Amino acid sequence: MTDKITIFWFRQDLRIADNPGLFEAAQHGAVLPVYILDTDELSKMGSASQWWLHHSLNALNESLDNTLNVYVGSSKNILLEILQKNAIQAVYWNRCYEPWRIENDSLIKAELKNINIECKSFNGSLLWEPWDVLKKDKTPYKVFTPFYTRGCLQARSPRHPLPKPEKLTLIKDLHNLTTLGNLELLPKVRWDKQMKACWEIGEHAAKSKLIEFLDDGLQGYKENRNYPFKKNVSRLSPHLHFGEISPNQAWHGAQAQGLSHGWTKDSDCFLSELGWREFSHSLLYHFPDFPNKNFQQKFDNFPWANNPLYLKAWQTGQTGYPIVDAGMRELWQTGYMHNRVRMIVGSFLVKNLLQHWHFGRDWFWDCLVDADLANNSSGWQWIAGSGADASPYFRIFNPITQGEKFDPDGKYTRSLVLELNRLPNKYLFKPWEAPENVLKSAGVVLGGTYPNPIVDLKVSRNKALEAYKEL
């Protein structure tokens, strides 16, 4: 072991266990733990993500015995400034895959090399590197199933999680006076109080959430993950995005639990969902314009409508379609939405309302605590029909039948659309069909206490299909 001081630069890996870069840094001597709120990246971060980041950094700082050094500004300039003021021999970090971060990392590596500072980056965020899972002709996969079955599952198995470093000597940058509060990540108008009650944030909370899911949610996952009122979802997505837990911990934990209990169909299904996360990151890495440009260029000519009233009704959960409104209210209140419901509300926006998928992408980006560039871009292009391995455009989710099938007792919808709480199941997802006396006894006034549908499903569906034919 050499005795040196290494900067470990935390980014989307806000944990101590199974942190490859931190583990390696700790093997060589003292570690100066750093988090830099890059001003360029801050402008790209949604409000809910900023809120989560504040609490995640606070939890990380506590686990590091209050030695986390936080900064605001250009990451390159700040790293160079730290190096000038402290006796540092190396800088380590785990890789990120957003295009601007890849570009920035390359510049930083070149700068550090010029001044003879050791620099190493590691994989702490993905099961497989995007450049390791390629077709035989060395081009990237564009369809999920072969990507996962021929690419991922035929590649080396994901590495087993690393333990916490046995010895972690942490030091402070005494020249730095910036505090977590100086980052100003919390909203000035405290809309977050309701959301805070829904989450525990940080590495310890993420580990507990994984254990809870493996014990109580993995069995029956394959079938029950589609029902928003059931417990068979992990809700690990924000913890994975911020790196409070690694995909390797989730992968090996689920795999072991499935094998030991005979739940392999359920665990294999969960592992394939982690595979979708890998696929989204592969698309982002190989096609950096993916977040903004239609993957299928024919959609560049799609005749999207631009209706601010429709968009506002969708954003605020006032469309008149209860399962859609439930999902949008869940998003606003909790910073999260069940995946089945994400598909329903996404389909409604781009196909029934004919609003550009960019509007949905941007709203989710600002409101989701698990907002992730790869996943958000992939999800919206999938539902719009414009992405890689996308849902066919003519597949249009019917919010009535989807509600009746996946929320048959209305437990999820009633918990969020309170004004329909007393409406019988028969009419819950189509209240406009309820007789006047039923509406009256349930305290529902259509166009008053609850809106009439903003579009007719059949008419809007036909408009979407006609628009698609024009391509």
1's enclosing H/E stretch is: none
In the chain, residues under CATH classification 1.25.40.80 are 126-161+203-286
In the chain, residues under CATH classification 3.40.50.620 are 4-124
Longest dimension (CA), the chain: 81
Where does residue 162 fall: left (phi above 0), alpha (psi -120 to 50 degrees), or beta otherwise? beta
Of 259, 209, 231, the C-alpha closest to 411 is 231
* CATH class in words for 297-469: mainly alpha
How much is the pLDDT for 399?
98
Q: What is the mean pLDDT of each run of 10 residues along the chain (471 residues)?
A: 84 98 96 95 91 98 98 96 95 97 97 97 98 97 97 97 96 95 91 91 98 98 97 97 98 98 98 98 97 95 95 98 98 97 98 98 98 97 90 89 98 98 98 98 98 97 92 81
Cβ-based neighbours of 168, under 8 Å, separated by 6 or more = 16, 22, 26, 31
- The amino acid that residue 259 corresponds to is L
End-to-end CA distance of the chain: 63
Residue with tokens 């564009």: 142
Is 304 among the residues known to form the active site?
A: yes
466's enclosing H/E stretch is: helix 457-469
Is 111 among the residues known to form the active site?
A: no
How much is the pLDDT for 293?
97
CA distance 87 to 83: 7
CA distance 317 to 415: 13
CA distance 113 to 108: 8
Is 357 among the residues known to form the active site?
A: yes
How much is the pLDDT for 158?
98
Q: Are the C-beta atoms of 180 and 58 separated by less than 8 Å?
A: yes
The single residue of 128, 332, 380, 382 carrying the catalytic annotation is: 380
The single residue of 24, 118, 273, 404 carrying the catalytic annotation is: 273
The single residue of 86, 100, 276, 421 carrying the catalytic annotation is: 276
Is 123 among the residues known to form the active site?
A: no
Is 93 among the residues known to form the active site?
A: no
Q: What is the Cα 104 distance to its own chain's centre? A: 22
Is 339 among the residues known to form the active site?
A: yes
CA distance 156 to 271: 15
CATH-assigned architecture of domain 4-124: 3-Layer(aba) Sandwich (3.40)
How far CA 234 is from CA of 111, 157, 254, 270, 338, in Å, comes to 41, 22, 11, 9, 10
CATH-assigned architecture of domain 126-161+203-286: Alpha Horseshoe (1.25)
In the chain, residues under CATH classification 1.10.579.10 are 297-469
How much is the pLDDT for 3?
72
Q: Which residues of 156-189 are buried (b: 16+ CB within 10 A; e: fewer)?
A: eebeebbeebeebebeebeebebebeebebeeee
The single residue of 51, 357, 363, 382 carrying the catalytic annotation is: 357
Q: Are the C-beta atoms of 356 and 434 separated by less than 8 Å?
A: no
Where does residue 127 fall: left (phi above 0), alpha (psi -120 to 50 degrees), or beta otherwise? alpha
CA distance 31 to 86: 12
